[in-house]
């Protein structure tokens, strides 16, 4: 089970966890289907990062893709989040020198981020929808080229209550609809994570940052992904 994701895949209710933590949703998914999970993910990853991983990381394209019985494209949740800076500029803060400049720019960015998110009403995304769709299409096309019949599923993004993003959710519905349309167009079954995560978010059982999952969400997301994966013809024949 190859899971290409962002930090939701390995961040628990209090902190990032080792990928061996059985309560993480990739491991719940794999356990439900009698498989093992290989997770490739980093904080803030978008569809573009996953595409680069598939094409530039030799461990992914040489070892993990050939061995996979299924692939989960668990990205898109970061793509629609409102941002004060495009992703490539935000990531570039880490490379600024000298250190006081880097720290000052990071403080300014973190202070501006929630204000900009509210001011733009969620219209300025971390990744424009057309790019998200394009990179996901590239991923699916590449995987199907080298592994015809490989089961592939994606996700419809969940909501959040992150203060870092001003609690701004007005971009969610458009992102959800776009992800559903993309999945239908490319014959990729999509797991709808919004209704799975929302009850736990409402009950305060998420990470205090309002973005990452609590253990109940990890469990239910893993079970939902397993349910959707079972609908893939390539999987049911195994």
| Domain residue ranges of the chain, discontinuous segments joined by + | 2-80+128-236
pLDDT at 198 over 90: yes
Q: What is the DSSP letter of 206?
A: S
Helix, strand, coil in percent for the chain, rounding step 5: 50, 10, 40
Q: Which fold has domain 2-80+128-236?
A: Rossmann fold (3.40.50)
- Predicted pLDDT at 90: 84
Per-residue pLDDT, averaged over 203-214, amounts to: 90
Which residues 6+ apart lie within 8 Å of 56 measured at CB? Answer: none
* Interatomic CA distance for residues 60 and 152, integer angstroms: 15
DSSP 3-state assignment of 160? coil
Q: What pLDDT was estimated at residue 238?
A: 53
pLDDT of residue 89: 85
SS3 of residue 76 by DSSP: coil
Express each pLDDT in 153-194 by its tens digit: 999 999 988 888 887 888 889 999 999 999 999 999 999 999
For residue 71, give the nearest of 169, 134, 125, 141 by alpha carbon.
Answer: 141
Over residues 70-123, the pLDDT tens digits come to: 999 999 998 998 887 778 888 899 999 999 999 999 999 889 888 888 887 777
Residue with the larger pLDDT of the pair 136 and 201:
136
pLDDT (0 to 100) of residue 236: 67
Closest CA to 214 of 229, 196, 227: 196
User: What is the pTM (predicted TM-score) of this model?
Assistant: 0.92
Q: What SS3 class is residue 155?
A: strand
């Amino acid at each position: 089970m190859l899971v290409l994701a962002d930090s939701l895949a390995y961040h628990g209710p209090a902190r990032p966890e080792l990928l061996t933590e059985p309560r993480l949703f990739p491991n719940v998914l794999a356990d439900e289907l009698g498989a093992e999970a290989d997770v490739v993910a980093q904080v803030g990853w978008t569809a573009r990062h996953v595409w680069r991983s598939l094409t530039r990381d030799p461990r992914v394209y040489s070892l993990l893709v050939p061995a996979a019985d299924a692939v989960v494209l668990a990205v898109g949740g970061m793509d629609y989040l409102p941002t004060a800076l495009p992703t490539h500029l935000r990531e570039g803060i880490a490379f600024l020198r000298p250190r006081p400049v880097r720290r000052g720019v990071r403080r300014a960015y973190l202070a501006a981020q929630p204000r900009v998110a509210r001011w733009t009403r969620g219209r300025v995304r971390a990744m424009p929808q057309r790019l998200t769709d394009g990179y996901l299409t590239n991923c699916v096309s590449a995987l199907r080229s080298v592994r015809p019949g490989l089961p592939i599923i994606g996700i419809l993004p969940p909501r959040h209550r992150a203060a870092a993003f001003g609690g701004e959710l007005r971009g969610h519905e458009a992102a959800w609809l776009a992800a559903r349309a993309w999945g239908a167009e490319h014959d990729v079954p999509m797991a709808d994570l919004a209704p799975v995560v929302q009850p736990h978010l409402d009950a305060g059982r998420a990470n205090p940052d309002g973005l990452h999952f609590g253990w109940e969400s990890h469990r239910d997301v893993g079970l939902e992904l397993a349910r959707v994966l079972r609908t893939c013809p390539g999987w049911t024949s195994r």
